[in-house]
Chain A
Amino acid sequence: MAVQAVPVGDAEKPPGEKPGSSGNGKRRIPGQGRWAALFIAPTLVLLAVVILYPIISAIVMSLQQDAGLDPATGLFVEGGFAGLNNYTQWLLQQCAAVGGGTVPCAPGSLGAQFWSATGITFFFTIVTVALETVFGFWMALIMARAFKGRGILRGAVLVPWAIPTAVTAKLWFFIFAFNGVANNLFNTTILWTGSEWPARFAIIIADVWKTTPFMALLILAGLQMIPGDVYEAAKVDGASAWQRFVHITLPLVKPALIVAILFRVLDAMRMYDLPAILTGGANGTTTLSILVVEQIRQGFNSAAALSTITFIIIFLVAFIFIKFLGANVAADSTSGGKAKIK
């Protein structure tokens, strides 16, 4: 298996040579590096095939011109090297014009939607994650208490999480139908999926319903790691419930909370299923993922550029989170590693 060469080569260096990985108390066994490389190789090879290769091929594609009929002129456009044209096209919203050159993309065309899709993606991300954090925290605080039926509640909370997002979308599509139960309960006559803001709220509500449990469970796990005697001590010292929450619960649960938020943010930024099925991206609910999928039918290379931009945006958000908020994603790793990610 020639593919294993890369990790094996890396691992065969004597372990002691690596700076920052010493002194964590684990016993070194001679030849362990080679075993480790063998164990890890299949995973890395698979990931290289299913992720690295597509990324590289997307970048290569994104530098090529889409061949085909120009929608504006009806003339056949040759493919070929395009430099960064595909990128500037999206970022500056400039479309190819008759006889070369560029003009601002026509309103409503895919090319004109990049910044609005970016805005909507961030809007959905911020609103849903904020709501999920608040509700998730509340749910976690309730679930952390001791009461009869806690097991039932924890089971119930897993139900929205287990339902496939596509089914969730169809379910809320039905709930938000004009004659549906939402309008009936609240005595409203809103075209939920048919106009801009109701459609956005429908998506937000469905997303919050589906993913708050995940958030709540992560926060709950963080809560349960706080030793009870800390609270007892604070109580004895006369701290009120609110003071205990702000000065004990929040700081101690913060590492778990930030990781949970990071996971949810990155997940929300690639949101596709809910808006695609609930509204089809209509009425100002086109997220970046929907825009990419729509562009695929109109030109691979331009879509590849857009998906690369999307990938970079998500990567930057993750980077900012880890760098500035100290999201300690790999908390249990070696001490040297911890220092690096902080």
Chain B
Amino acid sequence: MSTVTSTADVATGPDSAPKRRARNRARWASIRTYVSAAVIFLWCMAPFYWMMVTAFREVQYTFEMTLWPTHPTLNNFVTAFSEELGNHLGRALFNSLFIGVCVTVIGLAAGVFAAYALARMEFPYKFMVLGVILGASMFPGVALVTPLFQLFTDIGWMGTYQALIIPSISFVLPLTVYVLTSFFREMPWELEEAARIDGCTKSQAFRKIIMPLAAPAVFTTAILAFIASWNEYLLASQLASDATQPVTVAIASFAGSQPHQEPYTAVMAAGTVVTIPLVIMVLIFQRKIVAGLTAGGVK
């Protein structure tokens, strides 16, 4: 074991000092990576886990610090869905789903065409159009609340579904156009050219070649649009009624089984119900969602 390093050592001896040092360094680097990864994993998952665990605790054991509920129960979910207590969670879930689907469909119906034009066509003022859509995506929702509050009061739309769907378009549509445009820019458009040469019209090429190719991009965008709509709170908290309120608003104003007591466990149960479908969806489509999220921001 010589401490003198020579090129011969490096080349031949598997236990030579530089090699060992390099291996040690690599091992330390990999340990550091795993420790950091574990810290990130815990930081992201621990609060979420705490919500799920609390959802299964008896109300009396709300502040139990065990990692597993000592008195597991499903009562909190019953409370969360209890109409008698004024928790319209079932109704709210339907509302969120309905609003989300409507907004997503409208956003995609308009957004697909705009994104296609922005990604594929040359036309005057293209840059201005892009700017307008970008500007719209950064628009603060609170600037819409006041005029819409008054408008919807005047025309008797307060608390209706259309009063919740229409304002949501303001942030979902720019999102769909933006994400789809970046997806469309990366698609193999030579195929469209080929179809055109083979005698397809523009619209035929679009329907027969581009749409099937674009389906994954559209699907990812739909997920992002739906999540954006599902998570909206500010507009809905001002414009919804008890009958049309989405889950975010319902959870923020929850009533528990015990009067004069913050219904932590029931809220955590409701939060779990609201979140689990999203989390499952996100985990299944993880790659696509990451691609969609970053398509807008980085490209």
Contacts and interface: CB of A to CB of B under 8 A. Distances in A.
Interface in A78-98: none
Interface string B140-152: 1111111111110
A263 B63 CA distance: 37
A337 B248 contact: no
A161 to B, nearest CB: 8
B264 interface: yes
A292 interface: yes
Contacts of A288: 142
A159 B45 contact: yes
A2 interface: no
Interface string A217-234: 110111001000000000
A171 B269 CA distance: 11
Interface in A178-219: 179-181, 184, 209, 213-214, 217-218
B68 interface: no
Interface string A146-157: 010111111111
Given A33-B123, A336-B127, A217 B252 contact: no
Interface string B261-298: 01010011001001100110111001001100110011
A51 B136 contact: yes
Interface residues on A, range: 35 or more
Interface in B73-121: 106, 109-111, 113-114, 116-118, 121
Contacts of A137: none
A142 interface: yes
B222 interface: no
A272 B238 CA distance: 12
B233 to A, nearest CB: 5
A61 B146 CA distance: 9
Contacts of A221: 290, 294, 297-298
B297 A263 contact: yes
Contact of A158 (B231, B238, B290): B290
Contacts of B140: 266, 269-270, 289, 307, 310-311, 314
Given A11-B125, A21-B126, A32-B122, 15 more contacts: A11-B124, A32-B121, A43-B177, A47-B170, A50-B166, A57-B147, A150-B37, A158-B286, A159-B279, A160-B47, A166-B248, A259-B297, A259-B298, A272-B233, A277-B233
Interface of B: 30, 33-34, 36-37, 40-41, 43-45, 47-48, 50-51, 54, 62-63, 65, 106, 109-111, 113-114, 116-118, 121-127, 129-136, 138-151, 166-167, 169-170, 173-174, 177, 182, 185, 202, 227, 230-231, 233-234, 237-238, 247-249, 251-252, 254, 262, 264, 267-268, 271, 274-275, 278-279, 281-283, 286, 289-290, 293-294, 297-299
Interface of A: 10-11, 13, 15, 17-18, 21, 24, 26, 28, 32-33, 35-40, 42-44, 46-47, 49-51, 53-55, 57-58, 61, 138-139, 142-143, 145, 147, 149-167, 169-172, 174-175, 177, 179-181, 184, 209, 213-214, 217-218, 220-222, 225, 256, 259-260, 263, 266, 269-270, 272-273, 276-277, 288-289, 292-293, 296, 300, 303-304, 307-308, 310-311, 314, 318, 329-334, 336-337, 340-341
By Cβ-Cβ distance, the 5 closest A-B pairs, closest first, are: A337-B127, A221-B294, A166-B248, A43-B114, A39-B117
5 contacts: A28-B122, A42-B110, A47-B133, A154-B286, A174-B50
